[in-house]
Chains A and B, each alone.
Chain A
Amino acid sequence: MHYIVLIIGAALVNNFVFSRFLGICPFLGVSRRTETAIGMGIAVIFVMTLASIVTWVIDYYLLIPFNFVYMRTIVFILVIAALVQLVEMIIQKVSLPLYQALGIYLPLITTNCAVLGVSLLNIQLKYNLLESCIFAIGASLGFTMALIIFSGIREDLDLNDIPEAFQGTPIALITAGILSLAFMGFSGLVK
């Protein structure tokens, strides 16, 4: 039960995009088409889970014992960037279809602040390894869901008659704001 609450809390109540406002760049960048949104979402789920495990291990077995916790952010950035590169190489060799499905989105995640956000939150909220892993899955599921919902809306927006001043990014930002308001309805569901 605890883990289900953790997932719901990360995915819906404290959605990374709509209530923590992390990962806004890919949220706006790759939400033009549902197809690309799904690709990006799967890549994020994959990388976020892996990154949270690796950074948790590094934090508890390297940074805390040696008293280097103040370097957490920079170390995490370094490790996540290296990890994404490594994962990309391995996937390309092991599973070409998966590599092609993830495509350009995999290297793009190197600079996704939501991934760093999950890693830092895991430590801040004092989760253990399994909890960190579950939390990362929940958070990335929430991110993917936000991306897919938003891309669906944007596809419909393209067919609508929008005033010239609002075309493109402005209407996208307004839509994101309203969507964020809607997600506020979940607040209080899980502590």
Chain B
Amino acid sequence: MTLLAAALLGGIGLVCALVLGVAAMTFAVEMDPREKLVLDLLPGANCGACGYAGCAAFAHALLENPETEMVCPAIHENDVKKISEILERKLASLGGMIASVCCKGTVKDVADNYIYEGPLECRAAQLIAGGSKACAYGCLGLGTCEQVCPFDAIHIGEDHLPYVDKEKCTGCGKCVIACPRHIIRLAPFDLPKCEVRCISKDSPKEVKKICSTGCIGCMACEQVCPFNAVTVMKNSAARITHTKCTGCGLCVKVCPVDVIESVIELKKASILKDKCNGCSICSQVCPVDAPKGELKNPYTIDEAKCMGCGICIDKCPKKAIEKRL
């Protein structure tokens, strides 16, 4: 009896499988093989946030309509690039935002107005006379951003400042909303190369008095930047236009209060000896005097000085300068 039951169930299963198998062949719809590839790269959660009915529908739309934008908020940056290659058109990723903390003032750097002993919650601390830190634009360091982060991507370091884990941050913006002093903001994932870690709107005199690493608006960065990417306005911390910044790092070096940081590491330049004719243009354009050599003889780059700004690479008439791998 048991055997018969098993046979019946197995039989029904077999019949269903056969019918499905035959149907799959009979009713096979020819599909663009790329659609399958694109579908595999999409997150596959069928969340519908793109506005289409699931990932399959979105993959179909991407292939059918060349004007479809990448509207998936959950896809990883690398997968967008792969899909761009499959479709042979450039897709700008919608997501790819990352949280960026704009304060460098540790407990040692910034003076305190009073000693706060309430609950460990920045929003609570902010309610008591505007927070304990003397600088009204400084991080309170009690870790509200850490508490609200659903991805475990932001942590308070030993210096009581938050640090963002680039691998884990999805750019959801929860910390941005939670921070009572608005010092966390979202930036495109791969765009910022240098960041000013201060948003103070106090006068330089005031900043100087309360913080040893706050922007004092000295304009050294604005003057040194070869790409006009840094602007300093009155009573406002320096700002970097990320689309202009090449990450050369000149401003980082010149800043007297160390408030500008390099976000990416740049590859240093190297001169190909057989191509270089010793025209000396590189040594003229270099902001840090890294290329050394004599006229008409191949130049070399002083690695200790080179910051990887890439200015010489653009200017070299013989295309003899490359980035070191």
Contacts from A to B (Cβ < 8 Å)? 36, 39, 58, 62, 66, 68, 71, 74-75, 78-79, 82, 85-86, 89-90, 92-94, 96, 100, 103-105
Partner of A103, one of B5, B20, B26, B54: B54
B57 touches A68 (CB 8 A): no
Pair count A-B, CB < 8 A: 58
- Chain B residues in 8 Å Cβ range of A104: 46, 53-54, 56-57
A90 touches B53 (CB 8 A): no
- Distance in angstroms from A37 CB to nearest chain B CB is 12
- Distance in angstroms from B132 CB to nearest chain A CB is 27
- Can you list 21 A-B contacts (CB < 8 A)? A39-B53, A58-B12, A66-B4, A71-B5, A74-B9, A75-B8, A75-B9, A75-B12, A79-B16, A82-B19, A86-B20, A89-B20, A89-B27, A90-B23, A93-B27, A96-B29, A100-B53, A100-B57, A103-B53, A104-B56, A105-B53
- Chain B residues in 8 Å Cβ range of A66: 4, 8
Q: Dominant SS at the A interface?
A: helix
Smallest Cβ-Cβ distance to A108: which chain B residue: B46
Given A36-B48, A71-B9, A93-B27; A82-B20 close (CB under 8 Å): yes
Can you list, as one digit per residue, whether each of B13-34 has a CB less than 8 Å from chain A (1) or not (0)?
A: 1001101100110111100000
Smallest Cβ-Cβ distance to B15: which chain A residue: A82
- Chain B residues in 8 Å Cβ range of A96: 29
- Chain A residues in 8 Å Cβ range of B56: 103-104
Cα(A91)–Cα(B29), bound, Å: 10
Cα(A151)–Cα(B154), bound, Å: 36
Cα(A82)–Cα(B9), bound, Å: 13
- Chain A residues in 8 Å Cβ range of B24: 89
- Chain A residues in 8 Å Cβ range of B17: 82
A89 touches B53 (CB 8 A): no
A90 touches B27 (CB 8 A): yes
- Chain A residues in 8 Å Cβ range of B27: 89-90, 92-94
A86 touches B8 (CB 8 A): no
- Chain A residues in 8 Å Cβ range of B26: 93
Cα(A164)–Cα(B272), bound, Å: 63
- Distance in angstroms from A88 CB to nearest chain B CB is 9
Interface residues of B in 31-79 (CB under 8 A from A): 46, 48, 53-54, 56-57, 60
- Chain A residues in 8 Å Cβ range of B9: 71, 74-75, 78
- Chain B residues in 8 Å Cβ range of A78: 9, 12-13, 16
In the complex, besides A62-B12, A103-B57, A104-B54, 16 extra interface pairs with C-beta distance below 8 angstroms are A36-B48, A36-B53, A58-B12, A62-B8, A66-B8, A78-B16, A79-B12, A82-B20, A85-B20, A86-B19, A89-B27, A92-B27, A93-B26, A93-B28, A104-B53, A104-B57
